A and B are shown apart, each in its own frame.
Chain A
Amino acid sequence: MEDFNKFAGSIVDKAIKAGATSAEAYINDGNELDIEISMGKIQKLLRSGSKGVGLRIFKNGRRAFVSSSDLSEKAVNSLVHKAVIFADEATPEEYNTLPPEYTKAPVEDLELIDNSIESIPLDRKISIAKEMEQAAFDFDKRITKTRASSYGDSRYTTYLTNSDGLAVSYTSTSCYLGISVTAEDKGHKQSNGYGVGKRFFADLPENKWIAEEASKGALMTIGGDKVKTQKVPVVFDRTLSTILLGAIAGGINGERVFRDQSFLKGKLNEKIASDLVTVIDDGRMKRGARSRPFDGEGVLTNSKPVVENGILKTYLYNTYSANKAGTKSTGNASRGSYTGTPGIGPLNFYMQKGNTSKENIIKSVKNGLLILDFVGGGPNTLTGDFSAGIAGVWIKNGKLGQPVAKVTVAGKLLDMLTGIEAVGDDLLFEGGTNCPTIKIKEMTVSGT
């Protein structure tokens, strides 16, 4: 197709000519494939391409944003026109600027493109998903249905050009394998899902392994019932311990910290978690799910510790929030797609693995809970509370006992983080945010 770099530049030029004082054009162009198998049939086979542009303009400190999937000249002209009119209605803020400086991107290859994906025959991809479903049924008689057994891949190129002369682009591929199974036993039903996303096809785990992990989870929690209300140690299995990292990511959002909307405000260089906790934000990890050479505004990404041995080291900023807080962007401007303005988001976000095996973590619990699934709720980074419905297994004298459900676990986020007594050695990179199994000293389990 046409040269999108030039195209992005032409849109920026049009915006400046129409009266913008600065402008930035962000274009995504790519395609995707989605295969969903259910009971041996192709429930969905989706193949498509899409492209679009997001144009952000500033006019004397006023901001407007427009986007379109229609890239015809007519559409772009009306878009630019609208952006400039809209900008006049906004309130000017000195913080509305493009990034004040750029570093020339180092040339290292982040290994974001797997060129082999396109040449893998469609039938093979379909088989992988079909075999995965069959592996679940073969694993245990009690696995009777699937909601979907899926394979998908995509390839996108992102172009970013602004009126300060920045013009960059990069291409990336992604693929995933996932399954949601239903187990039935003695009149009870339980479903469970497991999925992994990678940049390279060869990095995907075996489909059989994914099917078994999903099935094990369903079989461990089926028929769960309430326990009595009590305060006990709680183990967050690695398949969901990322929820705590989500709380940290939300709490270190620079805009929210500045506005006093975060439980982590005023805690820079203070202890917010136990010594065992080190959390990294890494935009340059090779083949990382959220790796990219530059962020959603063109600022170079980097790698940095966010929490180091329990001490909070940094908040995350994009240009706007950094301007407000009187600091620099940390390269964390994030965009979901061309239809949005750059917010703030973590890059590859993970807790460094510890030394304890998951078995030993469970063995260390005399009376407590192993959480295997969340059903609603989660962290509230404004109030600093955590409350969520769960499904899991009770631990008695270091052994797994009866399945638990219809209860909530609650606590204060800072208590939970400082109360992390064990960090597992079972860290796996399966998506953008990753965390090993962790044990928290005490939380409130509410049941009967």
Chain B
Amino acid sequence: MRLFEESAQGLTRREFMSKSAKTGLLIYSAPAIAGAFSSGCSQKTPVNEFDLSQENLMKLIKTALSRGGDFAEVYVEHRETTSMSLSEDKIKSLNYSISQGVGIRVISGEETGYAYTDDFSMDELQKTAETASAIAHGKVKVASADLTKLVYPENINVITSLNTIDEKKKIQMMKQANEYCRSYSNYIKDVYVNYSEEFKNVFLANSNGVYFTDEQPLTRFSTYVNAIKGDVRQSGSDSIGGREGWEMYNPEKIEKVASKASKTAVGMLDSKECPSGEMAVIMPNGWGGVLLHEAIGHGFEGDFIRKGTSVFSDKLGKRVADPKVTVVDDGTIKNKRGTLNADDEGTLTQKTVLIENGICRGFMYDLFNSKLSNVKSTGNGRRQSFRHTPLPRMTNTIMQGGTDSIDDMVSNTKYGLNVKQLSGGSVDITSGNFVFNVTEAYMVENGKETYPVRGASLIGKGSDVLEKIDLVGGDVDTGDGSCGKDGQSVPVTVGQPELRISKCTVGGTKT
């Protein structure tokens, strides 16, 4: 299901028909999306091909603030992506794209003006700055500070850059995954394998004097499998990736990505309809973290908090979850998909404690919302591209491990659902109600797994579910995803240990 539709015609571009304050997380790319989902390293573009001198950057900031305003920023991006797709045992297509441009933002009080262009001539850039400046109506208030280059710890370390590796090797890897899937079972009908690599050069300068430059690699390798038995069709998928180099890929990982997808698809062929109602739910580590992303993640974003539209708006210092629950949003974890050295506003990323032992401790902020809330930006200001304004977004949102034994979770469950894979979810941040879509699960009865079930979804209110987490294992893992909000997609990870929710509503088709 395509989450993001970009239409040059503009009518569907912003997906405005959002019925409520909904945002969503897609964990796996289905093949239809894979082509658009590209990441790639390529020849490192010499920086001076599109570099703007500091002097010119300051000129643009001055123009942007020429009608008043408190803040101005010039954001420059050059992105190259390469993707390859395999299906029907054939290499269907290789795609390559270049996207580059400049976005200029002006903030005046609570108002924001924005303009972007893909023309790098100073004339055109000055016009763009003037367009953005029109948001302000006062006399010149701020003289911009001299630019100081931001120094940051390297959260992203690549040994062998993907742009130095020949296409043939990547294709070989895709063919291997295809082989593993095909040989897993005779029930496997369709296999899709997708590889992508992206290389993004960004630099920005703002009127606070921040000058930030960075190179951001991103890669993803995913499998999607259909299995058919009689009239029943099921699917499974898995992916690996991160801000990594060629060293990340190895035969064991490729086999795992292939077999996990295959196992889900084939395992669900014998599934029965899932019963509905309230029951215990065991969530897997890694992907299971979609629970946090939807249950609290979006509700902790600074714009919803400031406006009072989030169900957590007034909960700072209050209990929102079981004491076993501690959740952080950490943009510094080495090489993760959601990791950055600094966010897309030039604020260093950090580890922000959202919930500590069940108490709400902090929210995620960008520059705009943090200033209006009298707090500091937490380095969560992110944007999809130079064509978009930054919003408070998640990075790597992870629940810390506990001390409960994983083996006990199933054996201690009288009646419940053991969830192995999820495909995504979405949340209404105002009511706090969320839905997760389960793709692989097994009924648990009297302490034992009994049969696979399909078509299950988990539904509830974020804080209710968090209050009912009663067992937290120690084995934390993360899963890659793409998070959508206000028509903008950013790469993130979600993570958690295996855990049990003592009571959750399961939606199934069987009454």
Say whether A137 faces chain B, with CB atoms less than 8 Å apart: no
| B434 touches A (CB below 8 Å) | yes
- Residues 390 to 426 of chain A near chain B (Cβ within 8 Å): 391, 405-412
The answer to whether A89 and B11 have CB atoms under 8 Å apart is: no
Using Cβ atoms and an 8 Å threshold, which residues of chain B touch A190?
20, 430-431
Complex interface: stretch among B239-247, B346-354, B502-510: B502-510
Query: Which residues in A have their C-beta under 8 angstroms from that of B507?
Result: 377, 387, 389, 407-410, 446
A182 touches B309 (CB 8 A): yes
User: Quick check: A431 and B12 within 8 Å, CB to CB?
Assistant: yes
Contact between chains at B427 and A154 (CB < 8 Å)? no
Partner of B18, one of A86, A89, A193: A193
Q: Does A406 lie within 8 Å of B460, measured CB to CB?
A: yes
Bound-complex Cα distance A446 to B115 (A): 47
Given the known A-B contacts A172-B9, A261-B233, are A391 and B431 also in contact in the complex, defined by CB atoms under 8 Å?
yes
Q: Are B16 and A150 in contact (CB under 8 A)?
A: yes
B99 contacts the other chain (Cβ, under 8 Å)?
A: yes
For residue B398, CB closer than 8 A to chain A, the reply is no
- Asked if A105 lies at the interface with its beta carbon under 8 angstroms from chain B, I say no
Interface of A is mostly: strand
B94 within 8 A of A: yes
A134 sits at the interface (CB 8 A): no
Is the pair A431, B510 in contact by a Cβ cutoff of 8 Å?
no
User: Nearest residue in B to A51 (C-beta to C-beta)?
Assistant: B118
Judge if A103 is at the interface, Cβ distance under 8 Å: no
A75-91 CB mask vs B (1 if < 8 Å, else 0) is 10001001100110111
Interface centre among B88, B93, B277, B511 (most CB of A within 10 A): B93
Instruction: Flag whether B262 is at the interface (Cβ < 8 A).
Output: no
CB < 8 Å A-B pair total: 335
Number of interface residues of B (CB under 8 A): 97
CB distance A70 to B118 under 8 Å? yes
Given contacts A41-B110, A389-B434, contact A406 B461 (CB under 8 A): yes
Check if A22 is an interface residue, CB within 8 A of chain B: no
Min CB distance A218 to B, Å, is: 8
Chain A nearest CB from B223 CB (Å) reads 15
Point out the residue from B9, B114, B233, B389 that lies within 8 Å of A174, measured CB to CB. B9
Taking a contact as CB atoms under 8 Å apart, the answer to whether A180 and B93 are in contact is no
Question: With an 8 A cutoff between CB atoms, is A21 at the interface?
Answer: no
Complex-state Cα separation, A50 to B96, whole angstroms: 19
Any A CB within 8 A of the CB of B126: no
Taking the complex as formed, is B28 at the interface, i.e. its CB lies under 8 A from any CB of chain A?
A: no
A197 neighbours in B (Cβ, 8 Å): 11-12, 16-17
Q: Given B9, B94, B427, B431, which contacts A64 in the complex, CB threshold below 8 Å? A: B94
Distance of A383 Cα from B30 Cα, bound (Å): 14
Question: Which of B20, B226, B511 sits near A180, CB closer than 8 Å?
Answer: B20
Q: Which residue of A lies closest to B21 (CB)?
A: A191
Bound-state CA distance A339–B84 (Å) is: 15
Which B residues touch A90, using CB under 8 A? 90-94
Which of B93, B131, B431, B508 is A189 in contact with, Cβ under 8 Å? B431
- In the complex, chain A residues 29-67 whose Cβ is within 8 Å of any chain B Cβ: 30, 32, 34, 38-39, 41-52, 63-67
A441 → chain B closest CB, angstroms: 15
- Within the assembled complex, what's the spacing in Å between the Cα atoms of A177 and B90? 45
What 0/1 pattern do residues 184 to 197 of A give for CB contact below 8 A with B? 00001111111101
The reply to whether A377 and B435 form a contact with Cβ atoms under 8 Å apart is yes
**Which B residues are in CB contact (< 8 Å) with A194?**
17, 19
B112 is contacted by which of A43, A67, A239 (Cβ under 8 Å)?
A43
Which residues of A lie under 8 Å from residue B97 when comparing CB positions? 66-68, 339
Whether B159 sits at the interface, judged by CB under 8 Å, is no
Cβ of B318 < 8 Å from any Cβ of A?
no
How far apart are A178's CB and chain B's nearest CB, in angstroms? 4
Tell whether, in the assembled complex, residue B234 and residue A260 are in contact, meaning their CB atoms are under 8 Å apart.
Answer: no
In Å, the complex CA distance between A364 and B228 comes to: 40
Show 19 A/B contacts (Cβ-Cβ < 8 Å), sorted by A. A41-B109, A42-B113, A45-B113, A63-B92, A64-B95, A65-B95, A89-B94, A156-B10, A191-B430, A340-B36, A341-B35, A341-B93, A376-B427, A376-B437, A377-B507, A380-B455, A385-B455, A406-B460, A444-B511
Which residues of B line the A interface, CB within 8 A?
1, 5-14, 16-22, 24, 32, 35-36, 84, 88, 90-101, 109-118, 128, 131, 134-135, 167-168, 171, 189-190, 226, 228, 232-235, 276-278, 294, 307-309, 311, 387, 389, 425-431, 433-437, 454-457, 459-461, 505-511
Interface residues of A (CB under 8 A from B): 28, 30, 32, 34, 38-39, 41-52, 63-70, 75, 79, 82-83, 86-87, 89-91, 93, 144-145, 147, 150, 152-154, 156, 158, 172, 174, 176, 178, 180, 182, 188-195, 197, 199, 217-218, 224, 226, 229-231, 239-240, 259-261, 289-290, 336-341, 343, 373-378, 380, 382-385, 387-389, 391, 405-412, 430-432, 444, 446-448
